[in-house]
Amino acid sequence: MNTAYPRSRPFITLLVLFSITCGLLLFTVDVAVSEQAGVKEYLPDTLDTQWTGHDVLFCQTPGCDRSWLARDVEPDEEGVRTCPTNWRGESCGGELKTMSRGEYMVLPKDTVMLKKQYFHNREPYKTVFTSVVLSGRNRDSIHRPEVCMTGQGNVIEMNKVIEVPLAGREPLQVMVLHMSRKLTETYTRHTYYAYWFVGQDRETPHHLERLMWMTVDRILRNVTHRWAYIAISGERAGDLNNTAHYDEIRDVVSKLYPEITLLGQP
């Protein structure tokens, strides 16, 4: 009978045991689930006196999938808003939620998602979309944004972390994805998608750093927080050397941040 083991066998066994131990530590140790988040479940109706925001609602009817500004949809007698018409102009009546049907299907049901479109009061063509995603109890509501963006047909041409100056503290670091999407043979739309992550007492523009903090907090502090993910998106010039959109991001984030943050508060 041949009982010879390949030489690497003990090492592989150790590696497997080590992985199992890490897995057990990560997923079976009874960690305290903190309900406390680093941001409010809230997006303000105005940012300073310059921007006015409107809730964005999404039809849940398969094949319709339209989105509406809440201001454009009349509520019924009970205050419920339903989708007025589908793409073909036919009456729809679908349920409206604060997240798209795709997002609702993929995300845990206790995920909180708020979206607003802000319009500049003096320059009406200027508009930005903002969203807050707050993870629920099982903590997997937040995905790597790059994956969602490319899944929607965008090409990420460049990513860059920029600093947003904030009163009374160090600047906030925000990740900016520079995206493009070819809509027709002759027209390519250039957009940006800026985001950062917030834990109860942590902030980072890097997805991997967030995962690292989640693991460290689980193992060393025995706690798991409700992470949130805040995003701002809008149009940019096609030239990657044109940084005019950074001013827009800094303007919106510096006005939004103090309205929604819970960091540093008891």
**Interacting residues toward Zn ion by CB under 5 A:** 59, 61, 64, 83, 86, 92, 94
From the CB of 207, what's the least distance to Zn ion, in Å?
33
From the CB of 83, what's the least distance to Zn ion, in Å?
3
Q: Which is nearer to Zn ion, 59 or 164 (CB)?
A: 59
CB atoms inside a 10 Å sphere around CB 229 = 21
From the CB of 168, what's the least distance to Zn ion, in Å?
45
Q: Which is nearer to Zn ion, 58 or 227 (CB)?
A: 58
* Tokens read off for 20: 């199992």
Residue 71 backbone phi and psi in degrees, to 5: -65, -20
* Tokens read off for 191: 């957009």
Q: Which is nearer to Zn ion, 34 or 61 (CB)?
A: 61
Of the candidates 68, 51, 111, 114, which has an alpha carbon nearest to the alpha carbon of residue 253? Answer: 51
* Tokens 């994956």, residue located: 147
Q: Which is nearer to Zn ion, 57 or 175 (CB)?
A: 57
**Which DSSP helix (H) or strand (E) runs through 202?**
none
CB atoms inside a 10 Å sphere around CB 34 = 14
Strand, coil or helix: 128: strand
From the CB of 35, what's the least distance to Zn ion, in Å?
34
